[in-house]
Amino acid sequence: MILANPGAMNGGDEVVAAPVGPPQQLEWKFSQVFGERTAGEEVQEVDIISAIEFDRTGDHLATGDRGGRVVLFERTDTKDNGGSRRDLERIDYPISRHPEFRYKTEFQSHEPEFDYLKSLEIEEKINKIRWCQTANGSLFLLSTNDKTIKFWKVQEKKIKKISDMNLDPLKGVGNGSVASSSNSVNPKSYLANGGFQDRLSNDFSFPPGGISSLRLPTVTSQETSLTARCRRVYAHAHDYHINSISNNSDGETFISADDLRINLWNLEISNQSFNIVDVKPTNMEDLTEVITSAEFHPTHCNMLAYSSSKGSIRLIDLRQSALCDSHAKLFEELEVPGSRSFFTEIIASISDIKFGKDGRYILSRDYMALKLWDINMDSGPVSTFQVHEYLRPKLCDLYENDSIFDKFECCLSGDGLRVATGSYSNLFRVFGCASGNTEATTLEASKNPMRRQAQTPARPSRSLSSSITRVVRRGAENPGADANGNSFDFTTKLLHLAWHPTENSIACAAANSLYMYYA
Amino acid sequence: MAMIEEPLYPIAVLIDELKNEDIQLRLNSIRRLSTIARALGDERTRKELIPFLSENNDDDDEVLLAMAEELGVFIPYVGGVEYANVLLPPLETLCTVEETCVRDKAVESLCRIGAQMREQDLVEYFIPLVKRLAAGEWFTARVSSCGLFHIAYSSAPETLKTELRTIYSQLCQDDMPMVRRSAATNLGKFAATVEPAHLKTDIMSIFEDLTQDDQDSVRLLAVEGCAALGKLLEPQECVAHILPVIVSFSQDKSWRVRYMVANQLYELCEAVGPEPTRSDLVPSYVRLLRDNEAEVRIAAAGKVTKFCRILNPELSIQHILPCVKELSTDSSQHVRSALASVIMGMAPVLGKDATIEQLLPIFLSLLKDEFPDVRLNIISKLDQVNQVIGIDLLSQSLLPAIVELAEDRHWRVRLAIIEYIPLLASQLGVGFFDDKLGALCMQWLKDKVYSIRDAAANNVKRLAEEFGPEWAMQHIIPQVLDMTNNSHYLYRMTILHAISLLAPVMGPEITCSKLLPVVINASKDRVPNIKFNVAKVLQSLIPIVDQSVVEKTIRPCLVELSEDPDVDVRFFANQALQSSDQVMMST
């Protein structure tokens, strides 16, 4: 395995190894912001960030936006100081070392299109980005909009200067200009080397020592530039909108999921895919449930999980059969009898699922809460973290303005000890999920993330349940917002965020700005 | 700036275009690399061209692929085998690129060069290259290295051999599944070069590790290794070491692994020999035929005949035939289709009695299958059908099936059956080809789909060839000519097409007396498309008929058409006139 950042890995281990007492509550600090808005600046629709993803090492970060662009950032703090984190800590310098990123490059991944057969506009908005295996120093990633997945290679290319040509470069090489500059010869023979064959007849014999007057061009290059090239396009395989893509640990396949189907692709083959899950009923009127998110297990190449609009997560085993319509395991929470309302099903819909790094846990986000599931326990979630419980009285309004259908993403820290998800008013919440850790922090995506913190109770109330495995933690309900008269702003929602794979660092998107925090 | 003499101009352009901005021009230059090399001479090729290529390897994949291919046959241009080693560095870099097809080509070229290199050069240059790649930082290099061991191994001295085996076993345990897959794929080739003593120890332990890999995709490839390794081992070794692996693979959790076993089982049987096959592999095979996963059953069903051939009839009837019966009513149409394509081959194995008694009912039920592909697969193996059950029995059950397929609502099905009609005709003879089938052939000429009409016209021609002009005069020509008055011009055009195909088969006499008048008549059609097709048909008739007929009938007609108000008609009429002039001049 290639670890570009071994120090960071140790960092993760250290947290796990700390045996005494509950882990400390993290104190989050602002690190960086890209694309910060000035006061009163209006956000352009195309600039709104719609996907965030760290690569496996955490040295790169990609964002996608509604304008179909992908922007890459690279970590700067590891490259300069070579030593591992442990070494640095031993030196006991008070340097605050946290992941810092700089803009690397950007490219236009998708363009708006029109499907003439179905009279449908296809937005260029990037729905998901996934990093693939790095090779030869080039970066590879998959990006998708509603219909088309693309495989990108971003590589540093040398800018070449070519000199020492056989023919005067001023006259141009090869094409028309050479021909026109030389009247004595048949222009056709110089059009390209296609014409060369006719010209160099078979009886032309080369002298045994070669022709000394010919020379190879000299190529000099000093500068390099980053170029992104689209290597493959995986198109025309989805009738509905793609909501997820996910790489397999085997390094050669990936899945793409839309509302009703999940397809399996080989990265190298773009003209065929295999349908592995199909929940489309023969009669569309019987449709009650759609796929909302899907992800491969991080280490078992045969396992994948997908979530549904009814709040269930299905784990499937690709070994069982070619078409995995029957799941290996089903995770869902039984609804409390008598609590059913018009909104029950809407708010139960899972907007995102993520496997923890070791593949033991799955984190899911529905409209109201984050839930952590142990894949060995299908009777219910291990923990539940309330995120939007205070919105319960307002569901009717939220339904009216469609906010109830907002799809919030969730993420786990690399060490699996904490989880995070977004909310309204550009807030996001971080919860501790290790046993004994009752941490629940609300942060604002701004330069002062703890601004809202004062309003929340320092210690969240614990539920009475004594079972260690099934603790339902009530996060701070943030009642202050209402008390202060700041009603929640449903237009500023923080949907997308990602946790650095090895460090306590979160990147999150507030409209067109990318905020980074560390602890 | 060098002064380039005029004869060298093209080659100078070629060299310069190695670095042109236009990828197509670069690609062309790379494809002519041997010409460039000849122009430079071997010494400058070695000292300048090859290093130049090594340095300029960040080009587009298409160019790199072409370069990898060219370098594989480049030994003559660098001064022969003693200089072959200079070709290794550029190929080594190409072995590390991300694009799989480029790497594969580079490996192929390296193997080709390595196979010609002198032994001391292999030790000095090739083996270190393999070791460098195997220790590469990126998985791409390690993936490539796996395909080179079989070239490197045999000329290595003893100590190096040990090292190479160790490196290979490390590659089989690489962190990256891609590397393990490549190691599994190439294991058979490498094993073939390893001494028998090490084969039993080192290679077998590598193989066992691969068979227990937790990645399906690696285990899959280990199945292929089974057959390759089995062929290298002594039969008893094979039974002891390979057979248990095959049996356990055939019960693997992953359907893809079982699918692979089903596909490879025949080769595996060859590796272990007939006796163990009968005793141990029959149960495995039966299990695969009854697998839960349709994909596995498809693979297994497709091998039924091959498998029965290695068994004796009793075992086949006792174990395999019951499964075949089940498969003929399988819920998956693809399973039935796979079975239908091979089932007839079982007849000679089972013998006449078992065939009539047991196989025939299966065959007849497949012929009535609701899925057209199944029926088509049976009909396509008619030659075997005929031998087994005889024409009378066949015609009773075959005819309804054919008629139904002929009228299938999917035109591709109709097309498929049309293509079998001439075969049917030759197999079954004129007698079988009664009015019913004849009528079908005519009906296709009036199909709604162009491809079917086109195929139908061809079919008519092939029938005429099969049964001869006399038969055609009675059974084809009148019916075809009957359709010339169809009210739709597209159908009239089909008839013209059919006539142009039939004419060479029917010979000049019938062409002049029967076909030509119809064509001439069509020249007065009101649709220009018909008229210019008449011109085309007349052109095709010129070489067939007698010169006097050309003069008396065809040319006047063409002359008339050449004055038509429609430009296309005039064009084709003039073309036909010109060709008739040429025919006249040549005679």
Q: Which residues from chain A sit within 8 angstroms of residue B256, using beta carbons?
A: 318-319
Query: Which of B49, B96, B100 is opposite residue A268, by nearest beta carbon?
Result: B100
Taking the C-alpha atoms of residue A387 and residue A206, their distance in angstroms, rounded to an integer, is: 80
Res A6: pLDDT:
41
Give the total number of structural domains in chain B. Answer: 1
Q: What's the whole-number average pLDDT of chain B? A: 88
Using a CB-CB distance cutoff of 8 angstroms, which residues of chain A are in contact with residue B97?
136
Query: At which residue do the structure tokens 């089909």 appear?
Result: B494
Residue B536 resides in a domain: yes
In a mutational test of the B interface, the residue from A193, A200, A264, A301 whose CB has the highest number of chain B CBs within 10 Å is: A193
Question: Best interface-test mutation with B: which of A139, A206, A211 has the largest number of B CBs within 10 A?
Answer: A211
Q: Which of B94, B99, B215, B291 to mutate to test the interface with A (most CBs of A within 10 A)?
A: B215
Q: How confident is the model at residue A85 (pLDDT cuts 50, 70, 90)?
A: very low
State the pLDDT at residue B412: 84
Write the CATH number for B511. Answer: 1.25.10.10
- Residues of B within 8 A of A216 (CB-CB) are 15, 18, 40, 48-49, 52
Q: Is the model more confident about A482 or about B64?
A: B64
Asked if A204 lies within 8 A of B7 by C-beta distance, the reply is yes
Identify the three-state secondary structure at position A181.
Answer: helix
Phi then psi for B377, rounded to 5 degrees?
-60, -35
- Residue from B3, B4, B8, B13 whose CB has the most chain A CBs within 10 Å, to mutate: B13
Partner A contacted by B332 (CB < 8 A):
no
Is the Cβ pair B28, A300 closer than 8 Å?
no
Contact: A319, B255; criterion CB under 8 Å: yes
> Which residues of chain B does A189 touch, with a Cβ-Cβ cutoff of 8 Å?
9-10
Which chain A residue is nearest to residue B56, measuring alpha carbons?
A: A219
d(CA A149, CA A130): 10
**Where does the pLDDT of residue A12 fall: very low under 50, low under 70, confident under 90, or very high at 90 and above?**
very low
pLDDT digits (tens, 9 = 90+) for A406-458: 999 999 999 999 999 999 999 999 999 888 888 899 999 988 887 665 444 43
**pLDDT-based confidence at B59, cuts 50/70/90?**
confident
**CB within 8 Å: B17 and A173:** yes
Q: A321, B293: Cβ pair inside 8 Å?
A: yes
Any idea which of A484-488, A495-499, A509-513 has the lowest mean pLDDT? A484-488
Q: Is A208 on the interface with B (CB under 8 A)?
A: yes
Chain B residue with CA closest to A1: the answer is: B175
Within a domain: B9: no
Residues in CB range of A517: below 8 A, 6 or more apart: A28, A29, A30, A31, A443, A449, A505, A506, A508
**Is B574 part of any domain?**
yes
Chain B residues with beta carbon closer than 8 angstroms to that of A136: 96-98, 138, 140
Rounded Cα distance, A109 and A69, in Å = 5
Q: Which of B45, B58, B217 sits opposite A158 (nearest CB)?
A: B58
pLDDT of residue B439: 83
User: Distance (Å) from the C-alpha of residue B69 to the closest C-alpha of chain A?
Assistant: 19
Question: Tens digit of pLDDT for each residue in A99-117?
Answer: 899 999 999 999 999 988 8
- Within a domain: B66: no
| Interface residue A170 vs chain B (CB under 8 A) | no
Q: What is the pLDDT of residues A205-237, one digit of tens each?
A: 677 777 777 888 887 777 888 899 999 999 999
pLDDT tens track for B219-246: 889 888 888 888 888 888 888 888 888 8
Q: Which amino acid is at A183?
A: N
Q: Which domain holds residue B561?
A: 503-586
- Which residues 226-255 of A are in CB contact (within 8 Å) with B? 249-252
Find the closest chain A residue to B255 by CA distance: A319
Sequence-ordered list of residues with C-beta below 8 angstroms from that of A375, at least 6 positions apart, any chain: A305, A315, A329, A331, A359, A360, A361, A362
3-state class (DSSP) for residue A23: coil
Number of Cα atoms under 13 Å in the Cβ half of residue A480:
11
User: Would you say residue B521 has pLDDT above 80?
Assistant: yes
Q: What is the dihedral angle through the alpha carbons of A90, A96, A99, A101, rounded to the nearest 10 degrees?
A: -130
Closest-approach residue (CA) in chain B for A140: B98
CB atoms near residue B119 (< 10 Å) = 12
A178 touches chain B (CB under 8 A): yes
B42 touches chain A (CB under 8 A): yes
Q: Could you tell me the two tokens for A20?
A: 């005494």
For residue A204, which residues of chain B lie inside 8 Å, CB to CB?
A: 7
Residue A18 pLDDT grade (very low, low, confident, very high; cuts 50, 70, 90)? very low
Contacts of B293 in chain A (CB under 8 A): 320-322
| Alpha carbon distance B109, B288 (integer Å) | 39
Q: Rounded to whole angstroms, what are the CA distances from B117 to A206, A392, B106, B538?
A: 26, 78, 16, 63
Which of B1, B25, B257 has its CB closest to that of A168? B1
* Chain B residues in contact with A175 (beta carbon < 8 A): 22
What distance in Å separates the CA atoms of residue B342 and residue B377, rounded to the nearest whole number?
8
ipTM value greater than 0.85 = no
Q: How far is A128 from chain B, CA to nearest CA, in Å?
A: 23
Query: B48 touching A, CB under 8 A?
Result: yes
pLDDT tens-digit readout, A321-378: 888 888 889 999 887 777 788 899 899 999 999 999 999 999 999 999 999 999 999 8
Helix (H) or strand (E) holding B455: helix B450-475
Chain-centre distance of CA A323, in angstroms?
A: 27
More confidently predicted of A33 and B425: A33
**In a domain? residue B570:** yes
d(C-alpha B575, C-alpha B582), whole Å: 11
Residue B547 is assigned to a structural domain of this protein = yes
Residues A184, A185, A187: CA angle, nearest 5 degrees:
125
Q: How confident is the model at residue A279 (pLDDT cuts 50, 70, 90)?
A: very high
Residue B499 and residue B516: Cα distance in Å, rounded? 9
Q: Alpha-carbon Rg of chain A, whole angstroms? A: 27
CB atoms A214 and B214 under 8 Å: no
- Tell me whether residue B140 is in a domain: no
**Whole-structure pTM value:** 0.80
> Which of B 129-158 lie inside 8 A of A, CB atoms?
137-140
Mean pLDDT of B418-440: 78
Who's near A198: CB < 8 A, 6+ residues apart?
Answer: A188, A189
Residue-range domains of chain A with CATH: 27-156+227-518 (2.130.10.10), 165-216 (no CATH)
Helices and strands (H, E) in chain B, number of each type: 41, 0
Residue A465 clears pLDDT 80, i.e. is over it: no
Strands A224-234 and A149-158: antiparallel
Q: Does B479 touch chain A (CB under 8 A)?
A: no
| Nearest-angstrom CA–CA distance, B435 and B430 | 11
Give every CB contact of residue A226 below 8 A, 6+ residues apart in sequence. A104, A105, A154, A155, A156, A157
The letter for the amino acid at A336 is: V
- Hey, is the C-beta of A136 within 8 angstroms of any chain B C-beta? yes
In a domain, B542, yes or no: yes
Euclidean distance between CA atoms B394 and B388, whole angstroms: 10
Only one residue has tokens 């689209």, namely: A230
CB contact under 8 A, B44 and A158: no
> Residue B586: pLDDT band by 50, 70, 90 thresholds?
confident
